[in-house]
Amino acid sequence: MFPLRPSLTKISLRWVLLIPFVLQTIGAVGLVGYFSDRSGEQAVENLAHRLMHEVSNRISDRLDTYLQTQQQAMVINAQAVEQGSLNIQDFGELRHYLWQQITLSPLLGSNFFVNAQGEQIGYGRLQSQEIVEQAKQLTKENLSIGTVFLSEMQKSHLGKRKHYLVDSKGQAKKLVYTLEVDNRKLPWYVHAKIAKKQTWSPIFLHKVTPSLGIMALAPIYDRGGNFQGVFFSDVLLSEISTFLDNLQLSPSGKAFILERSGDLVATSTLEIPYLSHVKGQLQRLPAVQSQDVQTRSLAQQILKKSGSFRHIKKNTQMSLEIDGQRHFVQISPYSDRYGLDWLVVTAVPASDFMREIEANKTQTIIFCWLTLIATIGIGIFTASRITKPIVRLSEASQALAQGEWQQPLSEKIAIAELQLLTKSFNQTAKDLKAAFERAKVALNESEDKFAKIFRNSPDFIHIISFETGCYVEVNDRFLEITGYSRAEVIGHTPLELGIAVKPESLSQMCQLLQSERRVYNFELELRTKSGEIKIGLISSEWIELAGKPYILSIFKDYTKRKQVELELKQVRELREAIFNESADAIFLVELPPNRRILDCNQRAVELFEVESKAELIGIQGNILQKRKFMEEELAEIAIEIEQQGFWSQEVEYLTKKGDSFWGNLAVKMIQAAGQSMYLVRVTDITEIKRMITALQQSEARFQLLAATSPGVIYTVVEYASGPVRYEYLSPAFEEIHEVSVTAALQDAAITINQMHPEDRLGYQQAVASSIENMQPFKYEWRIITPSGKIKWIQANSRSEIRENGEIAWHGIVQDISDRKQVEAALRESEEKFRRAFDDAAIGMALISPDGQFLQVNRSLCEMVGYSEAELLRLNSLEITHPDDIEINLAAATQVLKEKQRIYQLKQRYIHKSRSIIWILISVSLVRDQNRQPLYFVAQIQDISEQQAALRERQQIDQMKDEFISVVSHELRTPLTAIHGALGMLGTGIFAKRPERAKEMLTIALNNCDRLVRLVNDILDLERLDSGKTQLIMETCQINALMQQAVDTVQVIATQAAINLEFTPLFVTITAAPDAIVQTLINLLSNAIKFSPANSTIWLNAELVTEEINLKQTKFPMTSPYILFSVKDQGRGIPTDKLETIFGRFQQVDVSDSRQKGGTGLGLAICRSIVQQHSGQIWVESIVGQGSTFYFTLPLSQRKFSQQN
């Protein structure tokens, strides 16, 4: 009991009754209201979390359905390729397969394949309304979501992905869009190639319709591990946002999906998940930068709490404050086995659920206040009725406590309990008076009994003052055990007497007494006066004597029993240490017939791979064996143990996990605790058995190797005294030496006698050298067999010095006769090559891959003026003309890359005298057996004289050209003068002349122009036909030639109100660019002349890779080649004129020359130019509708392959 402060002892009973009552009422009402509110909030929170959990599951299910459909399709495609049922090299078969797949899978958004060359084939669906609207504008067709389109990119238009509308069979129906792209450089293609397994691409932004997308990727490899291409399916992530928006989570609820990086994937707000960069580029939108305040705040707080989105590994529920409102949030990771790792976040404001609860809160508070006021009033009234009789009882009890026995109190009280209390008080006062008298007598009797027990107890007893800690009283047993007298003990503390062996134990007991007021059976060690240690259990209790605290203690001595327990414990610990720490499994097993395991050590648990001893104890020991002993065997073992006391055998066991091991089983009969049993030891000998087995297998392999080896495996021993003998010879000895193994083992001299006389001395010297230096012996020599054959053999052996001084040689002898023959043939071949190389009439050289001369012949040295030694110190590029180095390196690179086998070039060498030498060099590459380059073989021919002759011919041709130019000039000069004079007349200078003269002058002026054109065309045509004009072939771009021609005729087309359209072709070709431009200008000029105003002329070029025979031609063309066409909307050409118009001075209509101008030589010039390019020219026409002129330019196969 704790004493009250004086200020609290004067509180009136009325207030004692009233205040707690009021406080309890307030507390009860408050707690009920609080817990009701909390219960409502908890219910709302639970409801919100269940709702969010269900929504998260629905989102995950939707993602599984929407995304995994694409991956499942990719798995099916990859398996079809792997099983050989789908040929990805056949795009026709592949297109048909993909068409069936997308038509049978409505949920599949697309299915495409791109091969390693960048070609593409596949189908897709219009997946959003935005894409549908764009497609409608392109196609002018009525399209809808789900419409299937074909996308392809083939060799003929590599780099251009074409999109088509398709018919009911998946065939291309209408080209709607062309996108220039190289699939092999796209990030998703590179990602798939690096991943080397089915995966997802990183999320990307579509360029056509800015929206997020992701691709299911399945890279394809052949059986050799070579990359073949990628199956992929495109998924629009905007559909996920639409799904989230339709969830209707709650009036203000939000749901969004983000990557671990924090970038938004989809959101129920339908917010555009990307930002516009300063430079106009689109970038992903991080959730923490969302335009939606709630989404942005949620992402920021989640990131702040978790530290990183990557730390969220499981479903997480949070309660967050956003703008003063509480939000329930659930974050659910979503991942799949293809690398997808997203977070699904759902959030619901608490206000969406708490509106009605908040509305009822005011009514609840008013009701609580009214209840409180009413309760206080009732409490005051009740307290008044109760306190009056209690006050009377209080006054009477005070008098009774002072020993004043008053008259009984009045028992007429309205409250039954107080009336009963008053009666009880009166009776208690009466009984108390009588009991007080009896207590005096009993107290005296009790004191006598305690004194007898205290003095005669068999345990020692003492009483210690709590205040001083000194002994107050001790019994005789205490004095007997400790050896002290009563006078030596009374008035002293245990510490002063040194009785407590461990003072800290005594202090601990005192602390327990202070806290619990009694202590039972506390172990304590005491020291007697003689120094002997006593161990016992002490029990102490707090008592009061004459109003003072004392400690009564009883000590029971059990020193002898403690010593016995310690000895037993030591023995038991020693036995358990031996039993449990043994390296072998030890069991205690019942005798037959039960043979159950009674106990085992920890090693047995480890050896048999069980969880604990409990799995072994109680089972029969032979159950653990792989082959269990039969009853007859067990009976024989029991008899042997009984007779000899011990039995042992190697046994194979099975562990719980199914692994087997070999153990040495040893059994001995022992006696334990008066009971006979078997002591069983199992030693793991698995490794020993394995070594024995491996040794046996090794011996068997050696015997097999020796029997099948083509060489002789031998061991020969040389004794210190000199003789030699064979210890071992493999069977191949008989085949090589034609002598039996038995005979050689008996007499080793047989092999010495077979040795060729010319090789014996060298053999003996080699043997002596190996013995002297104890080095490995290796030597080749000839033997003469009994059949007269001469064979070359080679021996390789190592020595072993034995303890008895013998030297043993272990080695192998091989028949190398075939190799010797090959070496002789090779030497002969090398000699022939050397002679052919050195004596060749042209230069020959062996050149390393880096250009260093390795070997040169005399002709090359004479050609370049260097000695052989000087040339071998040079690199081939050092004597190559600087202008020819680049083309030489390019050709060598092609050979090194195995793109061509040999190359031949005309180039220039620099003579030692610094003069220029023209050479024709032919080069091939020699490789080793691993296809690694060894050296180039170069044949070099001096063609300086041929080049000089060529230059001379060129100079003659140049002189002819100059002559033609002079003649042309001389013809043009007078014509130009006439033209000038007539032009002056036509200006009206002589206006006074008659009109007839002016008309004649106009005719003369026009004919003069025609004469100039005629001379020009005749001269051009004559040069072409005679071959005097050399067309200089150059590498040029088709699109550049077309652009140049269109720019030239654009002015006259504009004057004639003609619209020119052309489709460029980006292909490189070898041709005479000026001549091709002239051909295009002639064809375009003719088309402009004969086309009506406001019409269109089309110039096109295309690369043709298939053999065709166009309907109006008589000459088939073999691919590949470039096909040019010029199409007009003029009057057309009659059928009988389609061939003749390409002749000289030919016109469709005679009047054309006068009305349209021209000489009739333009098409003849075109035909001559095209034919000199090995091409063809023709025309197709329909009278009244227009004409189309075609001509072709062949493209070499190598050029075509390079461009592909």
Which top CATH class is 943-1029?
A: mainly alpha
1110 — pLDDT class (breaks 50, 70, 90) = very low
Average pLDDT over all residues of the chain? 81
871 vs 429, higher pLDDT: 871
Over 60: is that where the pLDDT of 1198 sits? no
In this predicted structure, what is the pLDDT of residue 433?
A: 67
Question: Residue 613 — pLDDT band, cuts 50, 70, 90?
Answer: confident
DSSP 591: P
The DSSP annotation for 868-888 comes to HHHHHTSBGGGGB-HHHHHHH
Strand boundaries in 761-915, DSSP class E = 777-784, 790-801, 807-815, 843-847, 853-856, 902-910
From the options 3.90.400.10, 3.10.20.30, 3.20.20.100, 3.30.450.20, give the CATH code of 709-821: 3.30.450.20
Instruction: Measure the CA–CA gap between 1184 and 298, rounded to whole angstroms.
Output: 74
Instruction: Tell me which H or E stretch contains 336.
Output: none
Say whether pLDDT at 219 is over 90.
yes
State which amino acid sits at residue 1166: C
pLDDT tens digits, one per residue of 624-655 = 888 888 888 888 888 888 888 889 999 999 99
> What pLDDT is attached to residue 1186?
92
Instruction: Kindly list the strands in the beta sheet with 777-784, ordered across the sheet, starting from the edge strand earlier in the chain.
Output: 724-729, 712-718, 807-815, 790-801, 777-784
pLDDT, position 985: 56
Give the pLDDT confidence of 720-750 residue by residue, as tens digits: 565 688 888 888 888 888 888 888 888 888 8
User: 60-236 has which CATH code?
Assistant: 3.30.450.20
Sign (positive or negative) of CA dihedral 911, 916, 919, 921:
positive
Measured in degrees and rounded to the nearest 5, phi and psi for residue 680 equal -110, 130
- Multiple choice CATH, 250-262+276-349, 3.30.450, 3.30.70, 3.30.67, 1.25.10: 3.30.450
**8 A C-beta contact, residue 1101 and residue 1080:** no
- Decide if 60-236 and 1031-1203 have a common fold: no
Per-residue model confidence (pLDDT) at position 231: 94
For 473-491, give the secondary structure using H, E and C: EECHHHHHHHCCCHHHHCC
β-strand pairing of 1059-1063 with 1096-1104: parallel
Q: Tell me the percentage of the chain whose pLDDT exceeds 90.
A: 14
The gap from C-alpha 317 to its chain's centroid, in whole angstroms, comes to 30
d(CA 1096, CA 407) in angstroms, rounded, equals 142
CA distance 470 to 969: 152
Per-residue model confidence as pLDDT tens digits over 1157-1195 = 556 677 888 888 898 888 999 999 998 889 999 999 988
- For 35, the 3-state DSSP assignment is helix
pLDDT of residue 305: 86
**CATH code linked to domain 581-685:** 3.30.450.20
Q: What is the mean pLDDT of residues 42-54?
A: 77
pLDDT recorded at residue 1189: 94
Rounded to whole angstroms, what are the CA distances from 828 to 341, 807, 937, 1174?
A: 71, 42, 20, 51
pLDDT value at position 1101? Answer: 92
In this structure, the strands spanning 712-718 and 724-729 are antiparallel
Burial status of residue 813 (CB atoms within 10 A of its CB: 0-12, 13-18, 19 or more): buried
Distance, CA of 1179 to CA of 414 (rounded, Å): 137
Rounded-to-integer distance, Cα 737 and Cα 1003, Å: 114
Q: What pLDDT does residue 485 have? A: 86
Element spanning 550, H or E: strand 548-557
> What is the predicted pLDDT for the residue at 8?
47
**Cα radius of gyration rounded to whole Å, the chain:** 58
Superfamily of domain 840-939: PAS domain (3.30.450.20)
Residue 883, pLDDT score: 92
Specify the higher pLDDT residue, 1025 or 506.
506
Q: What is the mean pLDDT of residues 103-117?
A: 88
Q: What is the pLDDT of residues 981-1031, one digit of tens each?
A: 555 555 555 555 556 555 556 656 655 655 565 566 666 656 665 555 667
Q: 457-564: what fold?
A: Beta-Lactamase (3.30.450)
Higher-pLDDT residue of 887 and 534 is 887
Range picked from 28-37, 234-243, 438-447, 1084-1093 for highest mean pLDDT:
1084-1093
Alpha-carbon distances, residue 217 vs 188, 339, 500 (angstroms): 8, 11, 84
pLDDT of 3 higher than 50: no
Rounded Cα–Cα distance for residues 1084 and 188 (Å) = 45
CA distance 998 to 1004: 10
Helix, coil or strand: residue 310: helix
Q: Where are the domains of the chain?
A: 60-236, 250-262+276-349, 370-450, 457-564, 581-685, 709-821, 840-939, 943-1029, 1031-1203
Residue 1127 or residue 1003, greater confidence? 1127
What string of H, E and C letters represents the secondary structure of 600-629? ECHHHHHHCCCCCHHHCCCCEHHHHECCCC
Which architecture does CATH list for 1031-1203?
2-Layer Sandwich (3.30)
- Portion of the chain with pLDDT greater than 70, in percent: 80
The yes-or-no verdict on residue 5 having pLDDT over 50 is no
227 Cβ contact list (under 8 Å, min separation 6): 116, 193, 219, 220, 221
